[in-house]
Amino acid sequence: MRIITWNINSVRARLDIVEKLIKDYDPDVLCLQETKVQDHMFPEGFFQDLGMPHLAIHGQKSHHGVATAAKQPFDESFKIDWCSKGDARHIAIKLKDGPTVHNFYVPAGGDEPDVEINEKFAHKMQFLDEMTTWSEELDTPTIMVGDLNIAPYEEDVWSHKKLLKVVSHTPVEVDAMMKIKDAHDWQDIMRDFVPKDEKLFSWWSYRAKDWSAADKGRRLDHVWTSPSLKGKAVKMEVLRNVRGWVKPSDHAPVLVDFDL
DNA sequence: ATGACGTTTTTCAAACGA
């Protein structure tokens, strides 16, 4: 079973490359973040025509929004209202005879990494705290994917020293992420395939003139699994070439094959 | 080098992203 997670930065603005991704990489489950579309305006017919008619969508106007598209029917889908804000940042599907797949868009957190003066950062930290509690209580095989907006390790960013005070790589965020990880013994699938001392990114800013040559990336997107699924992932690839397609998202898709 | 770029909205400027 192939899962791809991708922060698409507006699904409607990028139908052409979503189609190309599905045709070129043939995912069984496609988890999108930052769809930026209300549910009643979601391009359902587009996914039906591409052979992924089973949809779980959770959107809102302008910002955020997640969607999971599947080739095969799934048992159920559900949302969690993190921080009770009514934001569209999560959707889960329970695969038939398989794990539950949670699709996340964690708050970016604004500019200042200080909960006292930055409400957005406080929101991010509360969101992460709730994810820890949720992880502690999980008792079924689970795959968690999405844009977690944190690059935890030194080689998850282009310059550890330069990004220590930049939101996404600050120690307080990394600590919070490690608390989530420990709460369920989550397996960091991307790092199972690429050692921690090698650079691994999934996002490159639009602002860099030549993003690939400069390579000032961060690993903001993640695929985690329950410990009971240890060894079930057989392939992982950051589809860096997709970041270079026409009118790209600033995130590259992350592909994982599971032998469940 | 705190510059740049891209998407959205009761739009033509501002908010947001990270």
Instruction: Write the pLDDT tens digit of every residue in A58-104.
Output: 999 999 999 999 999 999 999 999 999 999 999 999 999 999 999 99
pLDDT on residue A208: 86
- Average per-residue pLDDT in chain A? 96
Q: Is any atom of strand B within 7 angstroms of residue A124's beta carbon?
A: no
Whether nucleic acid strand B comes within 7 Å of the CB of A63, the answer is yes
Domain that holds residue A245: 2-258
**Distance, angstroms, CA A217 to C1' B7?**
21
Task: Give the model confidence (pLDDT) of A198-208 as tens digits.
Answer: 999 999 999 88
What letter does residue A205 receive in the DSSP assignment? -
With H, G, I as helix, E, B as strand and everything else as coil, classify residue A4.
strand
Quick check: A249 CB within 7 A of strand B?
Answer: no
**Would you list the DSSP string of A38-91?**
-GGGS-HHHHHHTT--EEEEE--SSS--EEEEESS-EEEEE---GGGS----EE
User: What CATH number corresponds to the domain at position A184?
Assistant: 3.60.10.10
Domain count, chain A: 1
pLDDT at A37: 96
User: Which tokens in the block code for residue A215?
Assistant: 């390579």
Cα–Cα distance, A19 to A80 (Å, whole number): 28
**Is the CB of residue A216 less than 8 Å from the CB of residue A158?**
yes
Task: Supply A154's token pair.
Answer: 């030194």
For residue A217, what pLDDT band results from cuts at 50, 70 and 90?
A: very high
* Pair A38, A62: CB distance under 8 Å: no
Question: In this predicted structure, what is the pLDDT of residue A209?
Answer: 79
